[in-house]
Structure 1
């Protein structure tokens, strides 16, 4: 079969088309997708069979010493593809004119772009790279049959991007691709009439809005500094029911779950782990401190000294690896069952997470067999056998304990059932029994 030859340069507009949202937020992934396409459709990719698996590609693309686990690979071999920076992959296109165009396209400063280009392009988890291939399938650059991929004979269309006029740049990184497109199209009035309105649920009370805006303004000024300092927070933790002090490195902000959160690395309110999402309206005090301050946690200070402070891309990578905003929680494999009618009307054709994918009725039994604890396996297999093969079944990696995931599972009741993991299934069961006591037993 004759294959097309990939001749696309990493033009900023082409990189934009490879993203699922704002280019500034997904720049490394866009460059990585371009590098993968160039390899697959170049002379190097000719060594792969007609239909190839991810392991076959991995073994050809990386050196033999490349780790095969789930963690981010260490810098084990500078000859390995995972050891090269984004700047190295972009030679000889890395000209001053290209940088200026990319900064304009993505809304980045030259300093921000320079920092991105010095990061290892393939220094990411195995899941992140595998998700690259799934995205290339969605974009029409690859075809997939089961676990195998095949290159396409005809490339998808690459239409020229329209130039933006002054004042039309979006001030936010809209992570969802469809929302970003809508915002770009309807951000301004049409023939003098505003036709699109975007109402966002925002649970912050009026008396706290000024405080949240103050913290955002202060963080913006800190992020403009050549060296971003750590901050000392006093935080009113609803989980602990008390105010606590934490010293963290401020990585980025997210609007999620109807409020704005600061992703911080360092100390946590519950003294568990090093990452925490701080809801900005619960921050009572925020102060920048010096890196040599004695209150800076040793682990955070060591990251600073080794120039390995965490970045927003690391957070995005973790969020893409498992469903849930609390990206620092343990990932667990979840298996879900949906009533067929409910699925066809409300689940089919929707996007929930990169790892949310349908499985067959038979595969559910295999997943329970492989992942359920021995003392629970027989019971769960019995539950599975009692369910209809005509229903819809899905698997997805989730952050166990994440509030957003809990809320979604509650919204799917009574037409969605958690089969795995056991702990989340039992949590759903306890909530249903409590609701039963409220609405049925009390009335009896």
Structure 2
């Protein structure tokens, strides 16, 4: 049973006392869910998320329990970001409950805006390091899966066997992945709490820092590399060093020397997972999309797969590494895949460095931005880090604010600003409408850029 965004908004009145709803819009939702943005008369934005089937309902209940269990880690500062905090639940006629929680203020991460240094890239690494430092005991009595290192490897081998049985995976890739999965040396890791479904959509930025992480429906205890695979595949290469350096500094455990190897392997196996999703759903469009991505991956993987393996080389200093090189060893040249359709995972596939990404002077590690008159003040650094806004966009924003159509989130308590990796602040009236504008999420990132 699917509801309109107005029907979902009505559920908020059951949870939030004396709420006066001003506006409602459909919100993007994962498979099996429906959601709506709700703006009230106090300029508070809420999200109402409801399951569409019993399986999704059970997942939502497990997610809510997990969110409650990590509240103390958020409040204590052990996690340097916030998470959705349910305000309450509204019963559904067909059974189950809808969850209502405050909208997480900020903007979705834009990987292409990451720059090396102590800014957004380092913040992302610290956030993941903090997540992976959570005690695994918080999932012991939950409905989420818990894997040992060997169980996790066996699970990946089972996926590989299923892919081979489909007859759609090139033999060269099957051999490449099988050799890596059978190399037990790569799979000696300490299982940690992982988000497992990280993407640009669920990492929220504010003033160039990770301010929140959403969508915890797939959390598990498993391989930390699974949360890093999408970054190895899609983030600008010159920012990957900053991400991993900050990540390792935040982790209390000893260095996992094969972490990047498994992350790179995971970015390739994401294509296999996408293919199997299409096979399970008998979706020809997804199958065709995944098959094309696998063919691109074969071309990108130029090594001899009969002898190749995922092995870390000695990592040179970032300034000595050519822009076209990866920090992984004999895995072959990496090429940027062609854009795909059908909502395939952004982390799937292999990419090269974003050669246009250059570290701004304000983001160099260990340096203080200078002017002819001496070190720049915090206010000057903040001003220099701002994205350029076109005259038209600025005028439109000014008129909207003066009309009282919406209110911007309050960032007074935000971390001091660093170079941005997020777009301008989005407001409810500017959020994409999945029903009337399904391609809005793919629009150009030109807004707010010079």
TM over 0.5, shorter chain: no
Question: Which has more strand, going by share of residues?
Answer: 1
Normalised to the residue count of structure 1, the TM-score between the two structures is 0.29
If asked which structure has higher relative contact order (CA below 8 Å, sep 6+), I would say 2
